Homo-oligomer: A and B are copies of this chain.
Amino acid sequence: MAKFLTNREESYTQWYNDLVIKAGLAENSAVRGCMVIKPYGYAIWEKMQGELDKLLKATGHVNAYFPLFIPKSFFSREAAHVEGFAKECAIVTHYRLKNSPDGKGIIVDPEAKLEEELIIRPTSETIIWNTYRDWIQSYRDLPLLINQWANVVRWEMRTRLFLRTAEFLWQEGHTAHATSGEAVNEARLILDLYASFVENYLAIPVFRGRKTESERFAGAVDTYAIEALMQDGKALQAGTSHFLGQNFAKAFDVRFTDQNGKLDHVWATSWGTSTRLIGALIMTHSDNNGLVLPPKLAPVQVVIVPIYKGGEGAERIRPYAERIKESLANLGISVKFDDRDTQKPGWKFAEYELKGVPVRIAVGQRDLENNTVEIARRDTLEKTTINADAVVEYVPSLLDEIQQAIFKKALKFREENTFTTDNWDEFVDIMENRGGFALAHFDGSRETEEKIKDLTKATVRCIPFDSHDEKGKCILTGNPSERRVLFARAY
């Protein structure tokens, strides 16, 4: 199977596309820009959903569901918001089809035109804040901590499976608070929650920081983001959390009476992560043999492959393998025993490497005699033979080790590709040739940012939270700068 993958070194883009298709994660649909998420890809998404949902509930958030449609007039209420999304909206204008008068198929019934057009949600702030108006009267109704798992549509012109699609799946949180401080804390809390989710489950190290004005969410006062580094040296925004101030509360007139009886507009946050994370997962860990999945999110964590000649051999190995499977399943590990006789062991080895199953156990005739198994780990492809009785000890700790090892490997890669520079030529060289993050001084102006982008295709990914004050000179203009910011070319 793996031979069908383009090498990463040859074309990273083609390698990525091949991998998504060949590993059965997703494919393009007949609808421009929309993907089909295939069962194996969806199983990874379900694992992510399950874990993130637990983290959100543990911090007091509850789920709800709001309409897919947003009346056009709602959309226009928050000026920056509509400005940001107007150019990429799917718009419903009619509600009925009918037979064509010429008998040649069906057409949109011109008489079934909506009085007001409906936008398919690209994000739900407007419909949700219109709803919150009735839910919030007093400080007793606050905070309101609501999350939604949903599909959204943004009519992107250039799409790529998982990374940028016209329709995608995500969660979007929308919270309401009595004070500015509480809302800021919520936005920060969620960013930290995202960072720890992405680092601990997806095994992807991230920088946390604040966005510059030009990269801010349309309608936000402040946007925080986590930024990851892909193997090709490009950055990927893996999650965002926004402090919305009172912008949406004002646009939708959502006010509350505080403890002193004073009426004020409510303070808001919103935040989201999407199926894009699957793209980040693939591009951070995988190799020329296929996917490398973190054990905590792998739909199948261990596969057992029997090696035998003839049906008699299969019969002898089966109970031995089933016993091992059972013992691991009892520990809560997801194990598959692939005893299909339609495929050879070598084919299966390549298949599960392609699919990124973290641990492979091979059992042959000699293993039966010696009471052993051969264990291969996907990340390093290392093999070792251990006593069969030790499997229940060995495999769980190996899964932990792999989870940590791929994180460390990704962290090492990021560290080796994060450069502190004060030299423009070096900065250009990083962006054009070496790839990676550059920590550089920046004068903070929109014009400078724009110019750097024009010259190098690099953008400010974030102003890292942990960057200390350090006076310097802007990498482009030489103007004074208060601290370094994180630059990269980005997905």
Q: Among the listed B37, B146, B155, which residue makes an inter-chain contact with A65, where contact means beta carbons less than 8 Å apart?
A: B37
Question: How far, in angstroms, from A98 to B88 measured CA to CA in the complex?
Answer: 10
CB-CB < 8 A to A73: which residues of B? 105
| CB of A112, distance to nearest CB on chain B (Å) | 8
Contacts of A150 in B (CB 8 A): 151
- B97:A94 contact, CB within 8 angstroms: no
B65 touches A36 (CB 8 A): yes
Q: Tell me if A31 counts as interface (CB < 8 A to partner B).
A: yes
B30 touches A127 (CB 8 A): yes
Which chain B positions have C-beta within 8 A of A106?
A: 72, 75-76, 82, 86
CB distance from A102 to the nearest CB of B (A): 14
Taking the nearest CB of chain B, how far is it from the CB of A252, in angstroms?
10
Asked if A167 and B69 make an inter-chain contact with CB atoms under 8 angstroms apart, the answer reads yes
**What distance in Å separates the Cβ of A408 from its nearest Cβ neighbour in chain B?**
32
Determine if A66 and B30 form an interchain contact, defined as CB atoms under 8 angstroms apart: no
Give A122-155 as 1s and 0s: 1 = Cβ < 8 Å from B's Cβ atoms: 0000010011001000001000001000110101
Is A195 on the interface with B (CB-CB < 8 A)? Answer: no
Q: Mark A46-57, 1 if CB is under 8 A from B, else 0.
A: 100000000000
Size category of the binding interface on chain A? 35 or more
Contact flags (1/0) for A88-113 with B, using CB distance below 8 Å?
11111111111100000110100000
Central interface residue in A67, A82, A106, A146, by most chain B CB within 10 Å? A67
Q: A37-B65, A64-B42, A68-B151 are in contact. Are A93 and B118 (CB under 8 A)?
A: no
- In A66-85, the 8 Å CB interface with B consists of 66-76, 82
A23 to chain B, nearest CB (A): 14
Q: Which residues of B contact A71 (CB under 8 A)?
A: 30-31
18 A-B residue pairs with CB within 8 Å: A29-B66, A29-B127, A30-B74, A31-B69, A34-B69, A35-B67, A36-B64, A36-B67, A37-B64, A39-B64, A39-B146, A42-B63, A73-B105, A75-B106, A89-B96, A93-B94, A120-B120, A151-B151
Instruction: Out of B37, B117, B140, name the residue touching A108 (CB < 8 Å).
Output: B117
CB of A87 closer than 8 Å to a CB of B? yes
Q: How far is the CB of A101 from chain B (nearest CB, A)?
A: 14
A119 at the interface (CB under 8 A from B): yes
A93–B29 alpha-carbon span in the complex (Å) = 19
| A169 interface residue per 8 A CB criterion | yes
Would A36 and B98 be within 8 Å (CB), given that A91-B108, A140-B342 are in contact?
no
Query: How far is the CB of A114 from the nearest CB of chain B, in Å?
Result: 9
A240 to chain B, nearest CB (A): 22
- Contact B97 A72, beta carbon cutoff 8 Å: yes
CB contact list, A1-54 vs B, under 8 A:
27, 29-31, 34-39, 42-43, 45-46
Q: How far is the CB of A416 from chain B (nearest CB, A)?
A: 36
Residue in B29, B36, B87, B130 whose CB lies within 8 Å of A96: B87
Assess whether A263 is interfacial by the CB under 8 Å rule.
no
Inter-chain CA distance A38–B146, complex, in Å, is 10
Residues of B within 8 A of A169 (CB): 65
In the complex, which residues of chain B have a beta carbon less than 8 angstroms from the beta carbon of A27? 134
User: Could you tell me if B95 and A94 are in contact, using CB atoms closer than 8 angstroms?
Assistant: no
Knowing A68-B167, A92-B90, the reply to whether A31 touches B127 (Cβ < 8 A) is yes
> With A and B bound together, what is the CA distance between A72 and B131 in angstroms?
33
Asked if A368 CB lies within 8 Å of chain B CBs, one says: no
Complex interface: chain B residues within 8 A of A94 (CB): 90-91, 93, 117
Partner among B31, B93, B97, B117 whose Cβ is within 8 Å of the Cβ of A67: B31
Say yes or no for A381: interface residue by CB 8 A criterion.
Answer: no
In the complex, chain B residues whose CB is within 8 Å of the CB of A118: 31, 90
Chain B residues contacting A97 (CB-CB under 8 Å) are 72, 75, 82, 86-87, 89, 91, 119
